[in-house]
Amino acid sequence: MKLNNAKISIPEEAPLLSRQRLLDALWKNLASGCATIINGRAGTGKTMLATDFAQRCGRSVAWYKVDTPEINLAVFVEYLVASVGRTREGFGVKTLLELLESTVEFNLSKLEKLAEAFVYDLEMEVTPLLMAIDDLHLIYDADWLSPFFHRLLNLLPAEVHVLILGRGLPPAPLWRLRSKQHLFVINEPMLAFSELEAKELFAQYALSEGQAQHEWQLTRGRAANLHASAIRAWSDASSNTKKN
């Protein structure tokens, strides 16, 4: 199968403002558990935060942006292997072999073996790795997703951390990992800009704190809306300057 390389490339766009409190939370999670979920609706800044962290974490980064067709397990695994393969040459031999042998029927036992094969391949190299999986919510309905990830996250080596981005929370069985302090969540209220962060963002456009405070209240700190407001205010100010 021909893969779309754009889906396994780290986004090039970086946020104008790095949000230290969220980066600090991700750093803490990186040291404490095997996975972090960044959960929020569209426009809340999930991908921007993950991209910023990926560029700063000092680890090799495997990025995979999921689309609806990847509800097919075979396609999903091929992309997941390819994303890690961009940082580790020859990665995934055992995983792909297990996938090939399991294509007739995916039962629980085979799903667990597939996850175990993936972990085996990860353990072949000890270089710290961040695996970012964006838009996983698009395939939350897949019957294989919960057992595959539950097994995978329980077995991950200490030097590998999974960052899951989605517009909703993953299937319930994965929450057992949260009670064991293996899984952490950055939710939508956390993603919202604080008033101070809004002022810092508007300052990047040479806009006043009063403007920032007003737009922060209107947008309730929603990242995309707040940023759009800043750009609009900056554009209006630039136009007025040219007229004068």
Tell me: pLDDT of 11 over 60. yes
Strand locations in the chain (E): 35-39, 60-65, 129-134, 160-166, 183-186
Per-residue confidence (pLDDT) for residue 242, from 0 to 100 = 62
pTM above 0.85, yes or no: yes
pLDDT tens, 121-176?
Answer: 999 998 999 999 999 999 999 999 999 998 999 899 999 999 999 999 888 777 67
| Burial classification of residue 2, based on how many CB atoms lie within 10 Å of its CB (0-12 exposed, 13-18 middle, 19 or more buried) | exposed
Nearest alpha-carbon partner for 191 in 229, 223, 230:
223
Assign a CATH topology to domain 5-191: Rossmann fold (3.40.50)
d(CA 101, CA 61): 28
pLDDT tens, 169-188?
Answer: 888 777 677 766 678 999 99
Q: Strand pairing of 60-65 and 35-39?
A: unpaired
Domain boundary assignment for the chain: 5-191, 195-243
How sure is the predictor about 72, in pLDDT bands with cuts at 50, 70 and 90? Answer: very high
In the predicted model, what is the mean pLDDT of the chain? 91
Tell me: pLDDT of 244 over 60. no
Tell me: pLDDT of 232 over 90. yes
